[in-house]
Structure formats: C-alpha cells, structure tokens
Amino acid sequence: MIIYYKTETNLVRYLKSIRDVKLYKNGGLLQAFGLKKTQYPDIYFHSGSLNEFSKKLMKNSKVTIVNSTILKNKIIKLLGLDGDKIEVILPAVEVVDFKKKEAQKVFKEQYGIAKEEKIIYFTAKDFSKNGFVKFCNILENLEMTNWRGFVTADSDKETVYAQELLTHKKLIDHVIILDKEIFNIADILVLPTSIENFAYSVLKAMANKCVVFTTTNNNAIEILDVFSIMDGPDDPNLSYKIDMLLRVKSEFKKIKKENYEIASELNYETQYSKLDSILQKLAL
C-alpha cells in the first residue's frame, strides 16, 4: 500500500502497525519523461495548505483523508471531486478524568488568584495570525472583574510581543504569561483565529473541561455548539457572552460538561475504527 502524509500522526502510525506501507515519492526523471507510470498513493493523509501538490494528490489518490467535513466540502467544491474520494476522520485526543477544582486550587494559590476568579486562556504558535490582539480587545471589554487572564507563549519572540501589547493596553496586571500549557487549569479558551486549519487546541481544551470560543474561520467549529462560535475575530458579542458566563455558574458547568463529553467521543479508538472501515471499503 502506498501512502503519503506531511505529519506522522497517531492515525498514520496505526496504519503502519497493521499494514505494509510505502511512502509516495514525488516523481523522478523516468516519470517526468513518461517512461514510467506514476503510482499515486492509495491513501493521502492531508494536512496543511491546499497547494498544487496537495491538489494533485487529491485528484489522483484512491482516497484522501481530511480532519473536518468543512474541509471536505471545500475540496469537493474547489476540485470538483466525487465525495467518495474524500473521507473525514476527526482529530482525536486522549481524555483523562480528573478533578479540575483540585488542580485549580494549587495553581491559584501559586499565582495568588482568588478562588472565585475564572481563568481565561489564550495559546497559539503564531500570536498574530491566531488573534492575540483580538483576545486582548475582548478582555478590555469585559464588565465582570472575577477573572484572570493567562497566556502560553512558546518562544521569546511571542513572549516579548505579548508583554508589549498587554502593557500598551494596560492589561499587564491582569494577564500572566507562561511558558507551559494550562488546559487542565483554564476555565475558558478564547481563540479569535483567522486560520482555517482545525485548531487542535480547541479539542484539547474541551477534553480538559473548558468552555471554548473560536471563530467561523476555523474548521474546529464543527465540534462546537452555536453559542461557542464567534462571528469572526471581531465578534462584538463575545465579551457579552463571557460576562454572562462569569455571572451564571450553572451555564458555565453545563457547557464544560458538554464539551468534555464531545471530546470523550473523539478518541483514538474511534479514529482507528473509521480508518479500518475505509480500508475495507477500498479493499486495501
């Protein structure tokens, strides 16, 4: 079986463990001169941008696997492909049951945060493209004060960028910058991103019992309820929604529980079962 992938995910590793596979190589001199027939992938695991190379593989592979129905529909419309050539396997996460209040208690004591304060969180690899400015604007517009902001920056460059912006917006005393992820501590993840690719941080936050907000731009909205979907990075209603949650504890708990239950269903076993079904259908 010939496959191609850009990133070796757990799904790819699973396939390698159950089948003998070869990695597709993009041509050669013999193929370029038409002296050797090109053997395209049986399965193309798509990730990243829709460039000319990925489009070629989608057109010629037996099946392309993508991580959202939104992306599948976009590809079908763009390339005019038969829907059977594109299969959706949603991202997966390892869900662990844990006592969030206990984890938060230690954390809040460490950072001098009051028990009743909720933690509003932002993390991304590219702060600019993922809407850190918009995140700050949302915090600025909150009426409630029972919250603290936390940001995870994975580089010195992003840390400096965050510090300068938070200082400029007079939020530096309300937002703490860390170098580690705190999904298990956060109450609300806000990701006002302009990036389309499924934000794995959304699923990770849901698995860690967080309320999550992200934009219609991002394919991760496929697993969110309508309340949690921002109408673009500048959604004027988001600060109001967060204020409401900071007031109403029952709604807060309800959304956290629902998100956790959704994430629990998106596990690796479900991914593997879906891939097994695709292999059977293709007789591979």
* pLDDT for 36: 53
Q: Which residues span the domain enclosing 155?
A: 100-265
Q: How many Cα atoms sit within 13 Å of 83 on the Cβ side?
A: 3
User: Is residue 49 domain-shared with residue 157, that is, in the same domain?
Assistant: no
One domain, residues 121 and 253 = yes
Average pLDDT in the 142-164 region?
96
**Angle CA(259)–CA(123)–CA(233) in degrees, nearest 5?**
80
pLDDT (0 to 100) of residue 33: 43
Calculated CA dihedral for residues 76, 78, 81, 87, nearest 10 degrees: -40
Q: Residues 120-140: what's their mean pLDDT?
A: 96
Residues 105, 184: one domain? Answer: yes
Burial letters 122-143, b for 16+ CB under 10 A, else e: bbbeebeebbbbbbbbbbeebe
What would the mean pLDDT of 229-253 be, rounded to a whole number?
95
Does 116 lie in the same domain as 30? Answer: no
pLDDT over 90 at 204, yes or no: yes
State residue 284's pLDDT score.
Answer: 79
How confident is residue 283, by pLDDT bands cut at 50, 70 and 90? Answer: confident
Per-residue pLDDT, 233: 93
Q: In DSSP terms, which residues pair with 118 in a beta bridge? A: 147
The pLDDT value recorded for residue 100 is 92
∠ CA 81-82-86 to the nearest 5 degrees?
85
pLDDT band at 27 (very low <50, low <70, confident <90, very high): low
Q: What is the pLDDT of residues 31-48, one digit of tens each?
A: 444 445 778 999 999 998
What value does the mean pLDDT take over residues 194-210?
96
* Predicted structure pTM score: 0.92
Are 99 and 123 within 8 A, CB to CB?
Answer: no
Residues 217 and 148 in one domain: yes
Asked if residue 125 and residue 81 are part of one domain, the reply reads: no
Mean pLDDT of 71-81: 95
Tens digit of pLDDT for each residue in 185-198?
Answer: 999 999 999 999 99
Judge if 39 and 147 occupy the same domain: no
Least confident range from 81-85, 146-150, 185-189: namely 81-85
- Distance between CA 263 and CA 269 in Å, rounded? 13
Examine the domain organization and report whether 214 and 256 are in the same domain. Answer: yes
Residue 233: CA count within 13 A, CB half-sphere: 19
Report the percentage of the chain scoring pLDDT > 90.
91
Q: Name beta bridge partners: 190.
A: 213
Q: Give residue 32's pLDDT.
A: 45
- Residues 260, 136 within the same domain: yes
Is pLDDT at 29 greater than 50 in this prediction?
no
The CATH code of the domain that includes 122 is 3.40.50.2000
Distance of CA 137 to the CA centre of its chain: 22
Taking only the tens place, the pLDDT of each residue in 12-24 is 999 999 999 999 9
Number of folded domains in the chain? 2
117 and 86 co-located in one domain: no
Q: Is the pLDDT of residue 91 over 90?
A: yes
Residues 131, 213 contacting (CB under 8 angstroms)? no
145: Cβ–Cβ under 8 A, 6 or more apart, which residues? none
Same domain for 52 and 187: no
Does position 164 have pLDDT exceeding 50, yes or no?
yes
Give the pLDDT of residue 28: 45
pLDDT (average), residues 79-84: 92
> Quick one: 173 and 61 in the same domain?
no
List all residues 6 or more positions away from 177 whose beta carbon is below 8 Å from its beta carbon: 150, 151, 152, 153, 159, 162, 163, 166
The mean per-residue pLDDT over the stretch 69-96 comes to 95
Residue 97: per-residue pLDDT: 87
